[in-house]
Amino acid sequence: MEKLHELVNEFQEQNLLLPIWLQEEKLYVVNQKKLPNTKVAIAIQNVEELASAIKDMVIRGSGALGTCGAWGLYLAAIHSGGDKKFVTRAGELLKQTRPTAVNLVHTIDEILEQMNGHGIDLIQEVEMKTIEILKRQLSFEHRLGEYGAELIGDGDSILTHCHSGALAGSGYGGRALSVIRKAHEQGKNIHVYVSETRPYLQGARITAYELKEFGIPHTLLSDNMSGHCMKQGLIDKVIVGSDRVVRNGDLVNKVGTYMHALAAKANDVPFYTATSSHTMDDTISNGSEVEIEYRNPSEVTSIQEFRIAPEDTQALYPSFDITPHELIEGIITERGVIQAPYATNLRKVMAEEDSLV
């Protein structure tokens, strides 16, 4: 546990917005549902509480969910005294919380497949693997940020959707905001248009919060304004995050992404997704095969428990949609910017990833 504490202290000294961290034998998670008005962390004492926090959207975002998988298995390991069966059951529980979030599943499977020991040996194995995963996630964010920043010109205005930032990653910038933050740090004069992202308002509540923290100029838009703004020439590029990229390059991301991609195509605005090789899914050939998570309709009829629709109003909330690969100008990764033909070029990146495991 001492080495993990040292890593957390090291991260906290790097101006990171950590979404989750270890303190003594508890995890602490920033409650993203309370942002931007209140920044508060809640204590997580066991895997069941972590699973509830993930299901209830207290913590969310592809990269952050991946690290949750590692932290959760470590918590299970130390609380069970290194019981392999207990840790395995904990992993299965966590994987069921957000079925579309492939990074969470990949991280858990990666740890479970490498567990050989029992007792203290198993705890040490999971601890060292957790450290490796946390360092890798942060490295991914910096590297994909550097590759993506090369696409951004001085004076560009960028539209982003949902929240793909530090609190959705390991603290630097997650996916899309890694690119935007790196360009800003390079001294480029950029402006970010933030879609509010109904029904959960991640863009308004969290992306705008982070951009303010980073000192990046930004303007909030309602989701249905993007086409108008593109037609008016206000937006030069669209950069979104990624919950999954499948074999042919189809993108699974927050619902509404497809709508922005269609508007971008119609107005000759380049549309990019920022992801990591760990969020690519070679087991699925195209987006139509992906299981889309449907959340509680009350999240549409209410905003944070404040009802905005009449009683008994029917509502629909698919948490994600599929953006076809033909609408994507490039896929920004920690290994460079991948371009079409995606079926060929993604396979090369996935093969490289497999060779490193």
Active site residues per annotation: 243
Q: Which two tokens stand for residue 317?
A: 């909330």
- Collapse the DSSP code of 190 into the 3-class scheme (helix H, G, I; strand E, B; otherwise coil) and give the result: coil
| Cβ neighbours of 167 (radius 10 Å) | 31
Q: Write the single-letter amino acid at 167.
A: L
The torsion of the CA quartet 28, 34, 36, 40, rounded to 10 degrees, works out to: -30
DSSP letters of 48-60? Answer: HHHHHHHHTTSS-
Residues in the chain: 357
Burial of 357: CB neighbours in 10 Å, binned 0-12, 13-18, 19+: exposed
Q: What is the Cα–Cα distance from 190 to 274, expressed in whole angstroms? A: 18
Burial 97-120 (b: 16+ CB within 10 A, else e): bbebbbbbbbbbebbbeebeeeee
- Collapse the DSSP code of 266 into the 3-class scheme (helix H, G, I; strand E, B; otherwise coil) and give the result: helix
- Collapse the DSSP code of 17 into the 3-class scheme (helix H, G, I; strand E, B; otherwise coil) and give the result: coil
Task: List, edge to edge, every strand of the sheet that includes 251-254.
Answer: 280-281, 244-246, 251-254, 320-323
Q: What is the Cα–Cα distance from 111 to 125, expressed in whole angstroms? A: 9
Q: What share of the chain is helix, strand, coil (3-state, %, to 5)?
A: 45, 15, 35
Cβ contacts of 9 within 8 Å, gap of 6 or more: none
